[in-house]
């Protein structure tokens, strides 16, 4: 029994293939992370699962219903927290929740009881009659989470739930997620490009260029690396890489102005390497594996690089100007 | 499938939301009320000195149905255009992922626009005795009925336009190329019969012409036959509005479904 089942899902837009034949399933009560750089196909996948987009081919099933043929059943069974805010700033927190309750067919008594319940959960009871316009980014996100839970969904989708939030709000939201999981056994599907967040998930699918390239618990994924990452910078990186390959028979990759290699027990290997190598090394860095290394090992690039992407800067600007403007 | 009761609830809450916001935004309420009053008493008051009364109807009385038509036009189009705001600020997504039919969303918006228009029409009704117009209770209900039909069709028309707009920048285009021409070519300000032939021809294609004419039928029935009175019989006006309403509702639904 799985709460989300995706088989060979593909979404093509006019110019590009955003999602390219992905398959995975998520069990009940799991916190499942979709990790990848921006533009990897995360939001497209979430939009298909939420019935906002139709797939070009393949199947997607949520809470036992087919996303293409039973969209209303899927919608009733899911809660969604979108990347960008979707609250009505001209209504109060309470009114936003009431609106949601009616859209999801809760009766008056149930609606009132659950609104009080979710407001308490996200610690906004005292602010319930304030216009959302006056809320901070973190409060808005908490209210959106409260709203997403109002109709007791089986699956909660969160698209970059902590994007643009300060560390304090981010921690608070993660606390909610853990409490929720413990208290309700709800399935949570979240996309993120924050590695620390992915580390907190039960299982993670790493997605790049529309394809799932690895899937498993963070521990499993890191174990797959079989070792630590050594990052070396030399005057001539290509010569250093060639030398490492020749002397140690290791797969040394040159990327981003550094040579990276993976070894077991790096702290023991490193002195030996430095003693024997002739190339002039200017910088050495040893790290125990993180999910970024998994991504790096699989794609040859780092997830973090994407954050400086000009498109993202534009997006971030658009987001903040929207906040100001409203 | 979602039930009819569930969708009716959605229509109710969409209307409720628009109403809440309408009442809350005092400036919008004041603005929408100030416009027709300004036209009526400043423009109408000025021009009534130059225009001879006909059939016992002064110019001030003559433009009153037109001002009600204007109130309905602006209120309906503004209400429909809020879809563009909702899209811009993300709230539309909250509605689109809800387990309700797209038709309920469009219908809810149309009902909301109609209700908001009618509230403003009811406020305008206060001027009926002030202007020395006498109507019976039956005529009052006929007035509300005609206004409601006109509002519903214009809001649907507005939704059709709004669902094609991706940003609020198109708003000025709509104001200048749809709303203002509709208003000026509707017989609200001057009798259609006295317009130059080319403009007169254009008024025939303007649904607001029949809306304003229906209101004239109710409010200025005494002047029938003169150029200050209605052009067409009330039944004819209402039939045209009904036909326009049917087309607008169907197209608005189709367009909204396609857009999102």
Contact A52 B93 (CB under 8 A): yes
Contact B99 A86 (CB under 8 A): no
- Which of B155, B163, B153 lies closest to B102 in space, CA to CA? B163
Local structure of A305: helix, strand or coil: helix
Summarize pLDDT for A28-61 with one digit per residue, the tens. 989 999 988 878 888 899 999 999 889 999 999 9
Contact A103 B95 (CB under 8 A): yes
CATH of A4-221, one of 3.40.50.300, 3.40.50.720, 3.40.50.620, 1.10.287.70: 3.40.50.300
Contact A99 B17 (CB under 8 A): yes
Q: Is the ipTM of this complex over 0.90?
A: no
Range of the domain at B18: 4-259
Contact B20 A322 (CB under 8 A): no
Mean pLDDT of A182-210: 88
Give B234 or A240, the one with higher predicted confidence.
B234
Q: Which of A135-144, A232-241, A301-310, B26-35 has the lowest mean pLDDT?
A: A301-310
**A98 in reach of chain B (CB within 8 A):** yes
CA–CA min distance B71, chain A (Å) = 23
Q: Which contacts qualify for A221-225: CB closer than 8 Å, 24 or more apart? A: A221/A291, A221/A294, A222/A289, A222/A290, A222/A291, A222/A293, A222/A294, A224/A294, A225/A262, A225/A289, A225/A293, A225/A294, A225/A297
What's the total number of domains in chain B?
1
**Integer angstrom CA distances of residue A231 from A209, A237, A263, B254:** 25, 11, 11, 58
Query: What percent of chain A stands above pLDDT 90?
Result: 40
Phi, psi (rounded to 5 degrees) for A11: -130, 120
Spatial distance between the Cα atoms of A143 and A125, rounded to a whole number of angstroms: 10
Contact B25 A82 (CB under 8 A): no
Contact B17 A86 (CB under 8 A): no
Summarize pLDDT for A223-273 with one digit per residue, the tens. 777 778 888 888 888 888 888 888 888 888 888 888 888 888 788 888 888
pLDDT band at B242 (very low <50, low <70, confident <90, very high): very high
Spatial distance between the Cα atoms of A155 and A169, rounded to a whole number of angstroms: 23
Domain boundaries, chain A: 4-221, 226-288
A278 pLDDT higher than 90: no
**A91 in reach of chain B (CB within 8 A):** yes
Which residues on chain B are in Cβ contact (under 8 Å) with A80?
97
Taking the CB of residue A188, how many other CB atoms lie within 10 A of it? 22
- Which of A148, A138, A219, A142 lies closest to A186 in space, CA to CA? A148
A104 pLDDT higher than 80: yes
A307 pLDDT higher than 80: no
- Which of A140, A191, A164 lies closest to A317 in space, CA to CA? A164
**Tokens 């609606």 belong to residue:** A111
Local structure of A219: helix, strand or coil: helix
Give the residue from B24, B27, B89 with the most A CB atoms within 10 Å of its CB, the best one to mutate: B89
Give A271 or B115, the one with higher predicted confidence.
B115
Spatial distance between the Cα atoms of A289 and A227, rounded to a whole number of angstroms: 7
**Integer angstrom CA distances of residue A303 from A142, A193, B41:** 27, 7, 66
- The predicted pLDDT at position A317 comes to 47
Q: For B99, which of A91, A104, A147 is closest by C-beta distance?
A: A104
**B17 in reach of chain A (CB within 8 A):** yes
- The predicted pLDDT at position A313 comes to 45
Give B170 or A325, the one with higher predicted confidence.
B170
Give the residue from B12, B29, B99 with the most A CB atoms within 10 Å of its CB, the best one to mutate: B99
Spatial distance between the Cα atoms of A240 and A157, rounded to a whole number of angstroms: 46
- The predicted pLDDT at position A1 comes to 63
Question: Tell me: domain A226-288, CATH 3.30.70, correct?
Answer: yes
Contact B99 A50 (CB under 8 A): no
pLDDT band at B114 (very low <50, low <70, confident <90, very high): very high
pLDDT band at A305 (very low <50, low <70, confident <90, very high): low
Mean pLDDT of chain A: 85
Question: Quick check: do A4-221 and A226-288 share a fold?
Answer: no
Scanning A137-176 for CB atoms below 8 A from B yields 147
């Amino acid at each position: 029994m799985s709460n989300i089942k995706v088989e060979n899902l593909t979404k093509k837009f006019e110019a590009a293939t955003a999602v390219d034949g992905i398959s995975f399933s998520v069990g009940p009560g799991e916190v499942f992370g979709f990790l990848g750089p921006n533009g990897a196909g995360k939001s497209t996948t979430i939009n298909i699962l939420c019935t906002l987009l139709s797939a070009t081919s393949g199947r997607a099933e949520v809470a036992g219903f087919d996303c293409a043929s039973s969209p209303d059943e899927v919608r009733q069974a899911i809660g969604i927290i979108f990347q960008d805010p979707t609250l009505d700033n001209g209504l109060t927190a309470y009114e936003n929740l009431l609106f949601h309750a009616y859209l999801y067919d809760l009766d008056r008594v149930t609606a009132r009881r659950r609104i009080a319940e979710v407001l308490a959960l996200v610690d906004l009871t005292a602010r319930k009659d304030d216009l959302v316009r006056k809320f901070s980014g973190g409060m808005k996100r908490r209210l959106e989470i409260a709203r997403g839970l109002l109709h007791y969904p089986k699956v909660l989708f969160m698209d970059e739930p902590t994007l643009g939030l300060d560390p304090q709000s981010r921690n608070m939201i993660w606390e909610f997620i853990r409490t929720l999981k413990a208290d309700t056994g709800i399935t949570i599907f979240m996309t993120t490009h924050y590695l620390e967040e992915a580390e907190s998930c039960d299982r993670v699918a790493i997605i790049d260029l529309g394809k799932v390239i690895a899937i498993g618990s963070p521990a499993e994924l890191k174990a797959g690396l079989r070792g630590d990452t050594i990052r070396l910078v030399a005057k001539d990186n290509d010569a250093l890489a060639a030398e490492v390959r020749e002397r140690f028979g290791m797969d040394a990759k040159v990327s981003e102005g550094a040579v990276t290699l993976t070894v077991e027990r790096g702290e023991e290997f490193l002195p030996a390497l430095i003693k024997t190598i002739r190339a002039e090394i200017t910088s050495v860095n040893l790290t125990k594996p993180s999910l970024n290394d998994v991504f790096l090992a699989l794609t040859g690039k780092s997830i973090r690089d994407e954050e400086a992407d000009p498109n993202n800067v534009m997006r971030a600007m658009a987001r903040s100007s929207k906040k100001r403007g409203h | 499938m979602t039930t009819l009761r569930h969708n009716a609830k959605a229509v109710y809450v969409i209307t409720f939301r628009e109403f809440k916001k309408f009442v809350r935004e005092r400036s919008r309420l004041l603005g929408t009320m100030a416009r027709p009053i300004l036209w009526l008493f400043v423009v109408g008051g000025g021009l009534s000195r130059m225009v001879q009364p006909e059939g016992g109807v002064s110019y001030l009385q003559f433009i009153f149905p037109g001002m009600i038509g204007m109130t309905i036009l602006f209120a309906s189009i503004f209400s429909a255009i809020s879809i563009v705001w909702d899209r811009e600020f993300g709230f539309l997504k909250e509605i689109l992922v809800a387990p309700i039919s797209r038709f309920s969303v469009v219908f809810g918006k149309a009902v909301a626009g109609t209700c908001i228009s009618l509230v403003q029409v009811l406020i305008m009704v206060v001027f009926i005795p002030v202007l020395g117009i006498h109507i019976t209770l039956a005529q009052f209900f006929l007035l509300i009925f005609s206004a409601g039909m006109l509002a519903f069709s214009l809001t649907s028309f507005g939704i059709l336009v709004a669902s094609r707009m991706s940003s609020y920048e198109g708003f000025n285009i709509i104001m200048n190329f749809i709303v203002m021409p509709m208003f000026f070519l509707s017989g609200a300000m001057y009798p259609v019969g006295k317009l130059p032939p080319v403009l007169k021809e254009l008024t025939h294609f303007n649904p607001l012409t029949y809306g304003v004419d229906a209101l004239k039928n109710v409010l200025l029935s005494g002047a029938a036959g003169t150029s200050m009175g209605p052009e067409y019989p009330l039944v004819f006006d209402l039939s045209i509005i009904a036909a326009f309403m049917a087309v607008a509702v169907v197209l608005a639904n189709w367009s909204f479904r396609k857009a999102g």
